[in-house]
Chain A
């Protein structure tokens, strides 16, 4: 009987030890994850600090900045035009039955215009650009890192942050609002097509009705937040590319992480911007 008690005690002891070890391992694992997260946040803050510092340096790479504007702006335009047109068309077709129920079909252009300008235009364009531009930056800089091109730049006494990162971030920040304006404009055209599927409204009348519902307070905050979306895409894309590992696998990972993180941050920035706009208005 005494032996059995001792045996049970030993079993309980070993079970407790096992659980305690597992708990310690889990705690350590969580600590490492938390450390990794805070380290990444810190690294990104330092990266942004370097970008700001190099943006105001004397030797700004203007030629490369213009090239990046062309790459980001001009080459994304067809995709944005198609997306914007379809966005307007679909929004109109989907909203029409609900508006018709309340006899408010004439308000359709105004509703679509406010939706496009305030929210749908900026957020959809930003998410598309996060996929197209952000992944491109992550992959390009990641592959430059893997093939030692960034090291080569540094060794030849050229600042890679100034040449590669500042130009891309500024180009993305400047080009995104322009792309959003294109998306909005073609959204109006898509919406006009949608209205004309079951009605007959001239483009001039449609635009008159649409712009009649828009105020400066609809337009201004939307434009401001698109600058932030552009900056987010540029910074995250470049950061992920710049901090890619050494193998070719890391290029894919950098591109993927750039898209995921910038999309997430765009939505968070949008949420904050909407709250601020709401409070101010």
Chain B
């Protein structure tokens, strides 16, 4: 059932819900100066699902996932992440919880001064310190194969295409075997074919690594390929929530402007 402003936002299609909630956000607020970006956001991410957060540019989608990993500090509300209140933890505890999260940045955010191999090694050698060199090499090879790139180990990020950079960035995000994946506009700036490939990759990562994901996007092709459930943000609020079929059948003008 689609839930827009007038209806109850708590109803979600039952078959998509599993018992475990990995992220539980309640009444989240975030402002930048006088600009209120998130006014009152509440949402849940269930185990094993792909939750797509849809919305216009500037609707606060990226701010939302940056609040989840505490790259930004929320002004109000609570974020329960894997059983911990994110707002109240810091230091080692925050690092521990961040190890369980993979984050794919909009720009890829590969380290410019490092080769692909060094980029992939970077989190691994710092978090899993007991790994031997052979095990590290094996892990790097494995994630590269999983994202469909095997022969780019010694290349610099500047030598890669946009799609390849996204794949390497995705490989770096999954190298620590995360429980949750957060994708910040994964297909932005890519051609339609590569965008579809990245969307397929998101599904394949979910299948192989048994992750649950929040995908921030305004790319409807990506939504169609990846979404188990969709939440639409508008003017700092959850405007609508439902399945892809429900969104596509909606006659709400704002939703229609995305889907038709």
Could you tell me which A residues sit within 8 Å of B by CB distance?
Answer: 59, 140, 143-144, 147-149, 151-159
Contacts and interface: CB of A to CB of B under 8 A. Distances in A.
B103 A152 contact: yes
Contacts of B69: 155
Which range contains the number of B residues in contact with the other chain?
20 to 34
A151 B126 CA distance: 16
A65 to B, nearest CB: 15
20 contacts: A147-B107, A147-B112, A149-B110, A151-B71, A152-B103, A153-B122, A154-B71, A154-B98, A155-B71, A155-B103, A156-B103, A156-B123, A156-B126, A156-B127, A156-B176, A157-B95, A157-B98, A157-B126, A158-B122, A158-B126
B95 A151 contact: no
Interface string B170-214: 001000100000000000000000000000000000000000000
A151 B109 contact: yes
A147 B109 CA distance: 6
A152 B98 contact: no
Nearest to A159: B95
A9 to B, nearest CB: 39
Contacts of A148: 105-107, 109
A36 to B, nearest CB: 14
Given A157-B95, A158-B122, A152 B127 contact: no
Interface in B66-106: 66, 69, 71, 95-96, 98-99, 101, 103, 105-106
Contacts, number: 56
List the 6 shortest-distance A-B pairs measured between CB atoms, nearest first.
A152-B109, A156-B123, A148-B109, A157-B95, A155-B103, A157-B98
Contact of A158 (B96, B110, B112, B123): B123
Contact of B105 (A140, A152, A158): A152
A144 to B, nearest CB: 7
A148 B184 CA distance: 12
Interface of B: 66, 69, 71, 95-96, 98-99, 101, 103, 105-107, 109-113, 122-123, 126-127, 172, 176
Contacts of B110: 149, 152
A65 B126 CA distance: 15
A49 to B, nearest CB: 15
B146 to A, nearest CB: 18
B98 A149 contact: no
A155 B98 contact: yes
A143 B110 CA distance: 12
B180 to A, nearest CB: 12
Contacts of A143: 112
A147 B106 CA distance: 9
Contacts of B111: 144, 149, 152-153
A153 B122 CA distance: 9
Given A149-B111, A149-B112, A151-B71, A156 B105 contact: no
Contacts of A59: 126
Contact of B172 (A147, A154, A156, A159): A156
A158 B129 CA distance: 13
B150 to A, nearest CB: 22
Contacts of A156: 98-99, 103, 122-123, 126-127, 172, 176
Contacts of A152: 103, 105, 109-111, 172
B84 to A, nearest CB: 14
Given A156-B127, A156-B176, A158-B123, 16 more contacts: A59-B126, A140-B113, A147-B107, A147-B112, A148-B107, A149-B111, A149-B112, A152-B110, A152-B172, A154-B98, A155-B101, A156-B103, A157-B96, A157-B98, A157-B123, A157-B127
Contacts of A153: 111, 122
Contacts of B123: 156-158
Most B CB contacts (10 A, CB to CB) among A59, A152, A159 go to A152
Most B CB contacts (10 A, CB to CB) among A59, A148, A151, A156 go to A156
B162 to A, nearest CB: 13
Nearest to A59: B126
A159 B123 CA distance: 11
B105 A151 contact: yes
Contact of B99 (A144, A151, A157, A159): A157
B98 A144 contact: no
A152 B107 CA distance: 10
A144 B96 CA distance: 24
A56 to B, nearest CB: 15
Contacts of A155: 69, 71, 98, 101, 103
A59 B103 CA distance: 24
A238 to B, nearest CB: 15
Contacts of B106: 148
